[in-house]
Homo-oligomer: A and B are copies of this chain.
Amino acid sequence: MIEPQRTPATSVLKVSAHSNPNSVAGALAGVLRERASAELQAVGAGATNQAVKAIAIARSYLSASSIDLVCVPEFTDVEIEGNVRTAIRLLVERRLIPAAVPVSPPAIP
């Protein structure tokens, strides 16, 4: 169960430490081709890390569509099995890619 949200509801993707960042990125990119924003929700360091990696990967997926992403992190409380846990909520929003600042490609080995 999720506490009352502070910003308008969007599509929520729950990310765990075991989530595949590429899969989350694909889902995120799919949502953001259709909508202006999406939300990732993560509990714990491992989950937050996968969520951030997914956003970085989704940026490269969307760059061909001239879409870049920004994210706005905030704390939120979620109830898991009767216990209240602090989660990280990452609101992800689209923005147009400025002409002079191309999205970087995935890291080059």
Q: A residues within 8 Å of B by Cβ?
A: 6-7, 17, 44-46, 48-49, 52-53, 55-56, 59, 68-77, 86, 88, 90, 93, 101-104, 106-109
Chain B: CB-nearest residue to A49: B45
Q: Which residues of B contact A59 (CB under 8 A)?
A: 72-74
Contacting residue for A73 out of B46, B71, B88, CB 8 A: B71
Chain B: CB-nearest residue to A75: B107
Main secondary structure on A side of the interface with B? mixed
Bound-complex Cα distance A56 to B76 (A): 10
Bound-complex Cα distance A106 to B73 (A): 11
Contacting residue for A106 out of B75, B101, B102, B109, CB 8 A: B75
Minimum CB–CB distance from A97 to chain B (whole Å) comes to 11
Given A53-B75, A59-B72, A75-B109, 20 more contacts at CB 8 Å? A6-B104, A17-B45, A44-B49, A45-B45, A45-B48, A49-B49, A56-B73, A56-B74, A56-B88, A59-B73, A59-B74, A70-B70, A70-B71, A71-B73, A74-B103, A74-B104, A75-B104, A75-B107, A76-B107, A86-B109
